Amino acid sequence: MSGKLPIDKVKEFLMTLQDEICAALEKEDGKAKFEEEKWTRDGFGGGRTRVIGNGNVIEKGGVNFSHVHGKNLPVSATEKRPEIAGWDFQAMGVSLVIHPNNPHVPTSHANVRLFVAEKEGKEPVWWFGGGFDLTPYYAVKEDCIQWHKTCEEACCPFGADVYPRFKKWCDEYFYLKHRQEPRGVGGLFFDDLNEWSFEKCFEFLQSVGRAYIKAYIPVIQKRKATAFTEAQKDFQLYRRGRYAEFNLAIDRGTQFGLQTGGRTESILMSLPPTVKWAYNWKPAPNSPEAQLTDYYLQNRDWVNEK
């Protein structure tokens, strides 16, 4: 049934995208190289896990490709489509997280994926998902503006409403309700995308996937040589705790991977290498640390920010 869909073309793009992103990040780091591990999932697919660390720029990171299939879709994948519960499925995608060493360089995350559900005698049900978002510690306004303008450019050919819609979705998705604050300054997020033809949705996926490096590399280049103090590094570790909380308690992709018996090492690759929690810690008023939550972690229209 899935032969009616050009799934092989999507897989080829995703594997090429993984190569392109890894090459760009290695070049920018200048020291560290990705180590690759190819894996299989007991006859139900596999992937390429690539990890990097202890570099000039990147303290820990991973850029993973996976293509898995199985039976009996879990709740995390069928909450919006309960009628396909129990169908066979396949999912493929590239997922990445980069945790820089320098607290002046933001953490970044990106994900692009295709999901197909199948049942004999039924038409396949498919959708695309993905996006990318930025989590700064010592944010700079021009970086946030440039990041969001790159998001807007990736969406522009697909309609004037697309960037505002998926920017809003990103703000709402990457939100820690138990902290009442967003994880970062956002970007793009979309899921269950099948409102256009398969071909147009795939074109959009390609546009978003390629925009990540266009958005992130300029930020690394501007901030990677900024001097930092031990106190600033300590603040980065504290804020990384928010990142860990989101990925473990809220993230839909993490839940799907664990519920389907996915590869735990690849799924939890997104967690920071070192994290710190402090009881009821609060930044000094009007400090750069306070500015992160008081100004940057707010619902801002970044592309029109002066």
- List the chain pLDDT tens, one digit each, 306 residues: 344 789 999 999 999 999 999 999 999 999 999 999 999 877 688 999 999 999 999 999 999 999 988 887 766 666 677 788 778 889 999 999 999 999 999 999 999 999 999 888 888 899 999 999 999 999 999 999 999 999 999 999 999 999 999 999 999 999 999 999 999 999 999 999 999 999 999 999 999 999 999 999 999 999 999 999 999 999 999 999 999 999 898 887 787 777 767 778 877 888 899 999 999 999 999 999 999 999 999 999 999 998
Choosing among 3.40.50.720, 3.20.20.150, 3.30.565.10, 3.40.1500.10, the CATH entry for 7-296 is 3.40.1500.10
Tell me the pTM.
0.92
Query: What values do phi and psi take at 221, rounded to 5?
Result: -60, -40
For tokens 């300029």, the residue is 218
109 is catalytic: yes
Distance CA 258, CA 275 (A): 22
**What is the domain partition of the chain in residue ranges?**
7-296
Distance CA 101, CA 212 (A): 20
Tokens of 230: 């031990």
Which amino acid is located at 89 in the chain? F
Which one of the listed residues 67, 99, 109, 148 is annotated catalytic? Answer: 109
DSSP-assigned beta bridge partners for residue 122:
none
Q: Is the dihedral of CA 22, 166, 249, 127 positive or negative?
A: negative
